[in-house]
Amino acid sequence: MSNQSSDTKEAGPQPLAALRESAGGYVKALADRAVDNLTEKVGGLTDRLTQYADGPAAEGSGAKASAAAKGAEELAQGASPAKAGLSAAVTGVKEKVKDVFGGGNGGGGGGGKKFKYNNIVESIDVGAPVDVVYNAWTSYEKWPDFMKKVEHTELDEETGEVQLKGQVFWSHRQWDTVITDQVPDRRVVWESSGDKGHLSGVVTFHPLGDELTRLVLVVAYHPQGFMEKTGNIWRAVNRRVRLELKYFVHHVMTESVLHPEDDEGYRAEIHDEEVVRSHEEVVEDERAAEEEDEYEDEETEEVSR
């Protein structure tokens, strides 16, 4: 009996050790599987990031290693295998997201991936003369009236600078914009900077007929900050630009074409960020040119008679 009891005592710890070893393997397997499942969409998104990420996304081995380590730590502290596995999965997801967004410590250093700009190109036709469309676009103070996410705009005519406030998700952002090049009825080129990203862009106006204008918008968007980069994965800014353009067309077709005198616009001529002709000077020159054309037409009619 004593020998049997001794054997039993010696054999007792072995099943417990085996159980712990099995549990540890279970946690690792659970962590690997949870990371694979929960980060499947994140991993798939890396294919969509290739146009602005430096190289292919990481394989995720670092995420799995961190997840397994976290699970083992939880298990060693007495947590249940299920709880340890869940903690490991969450850790794996966080590490995977860090890989997609460029790693920790500010998101720009180390071996993480860096964002390139998001290139946005949109064009839309508007059933109005080119000067009406241009004046409506450059009447920045009216943007909040018809653009959903624009809250406030303010133009400094002397410098060609525009301050714009808008909503991004549930947060509010402000951008300081400098018009670097502008030719009335032809193009507006600008640079914008803000706390959570910057962008540069150009909008051009192409008369397709007396009552039809094509507007082409090209924007290079550089997101900064977690919310901006997250939204950029699903091209939220692209969709927002497309929607705001539709609001603009609706405004032109229902307001501007009926009351073109209400949209004087900003018709200054700007080159290399310098206003070479003010809004008033351009408007005065255009009126003088129109009067001269009318006079020549009258002269032509009298000669023909």
Contact 292, 279 (CB under 8 A): no
Instruction: Please state, in angstroms and rounded to a whole number, the distance separating the CA atoms of residues 300 and 183.
Output: 31
Global pTM value: 0.60
Question: How confident is the model at residue 118, as a pLDDT?
Answer: 76
CATH of the domain spanning 118-289: 3.30.530.20
Instruction: Please state, in angstroms and rounded to a whole number, the distance separating the CA atoms of residues 122 and 192.
Output: 18
- Percentage of the residues of the chain whose pLDDT score is greater than 70: 54
Confidence class for position 193, pLDDT limits 50, 70, 90: confident
282 or 80: whose pLDDT is higher?
282
Mean pLDDT of the chain, nearest integer = 74
User: Picking from 45-49, 75-79, 120-124, 243-247, which range would have the lowest pLDDT averaged per residue?
Assistant: 45-49
Question: How confident is the model at residue 18, as a pLDDT?
Answer: 60
Return the closest-CA partner of residue 26 out of 80, 92, 94, 95.
Answer: 80
Q: Using a CB cutoff of 8 Å and minimum separation of 24, what contacts does 203-206 make?
A: 203/137, 205/130, 205/133, 205/134, 205/137, 206/130
52 or 88: whose pLDDT is higher?
88
Instruction: Please state, in angstroms and rounded to a whole number, the distance separating the CA atoms of residues 301 and 191.
Output: 48
Most confident by average pLDDT, 171-180, 189-198, 244-253: 244-253
Question: How confident is the model at residue 240, as a pLDDT?
Answer: 82
Neighbours of 20 (CB within 10 A): 12
* Backbone dihedral angles phi then psi of residue 81, each to the nearest 5 degrees: -55, -40
Write out the residue limits of the CATH 3.30.530.20 domain(s) in the chain.
118-289
132-145 pLDDT, tens digit each: 999 999 999 999 99
In three-state secondary structure terms, 109 is: coil
Q: Which helix (H) or strand (E) holds 113?
A: none
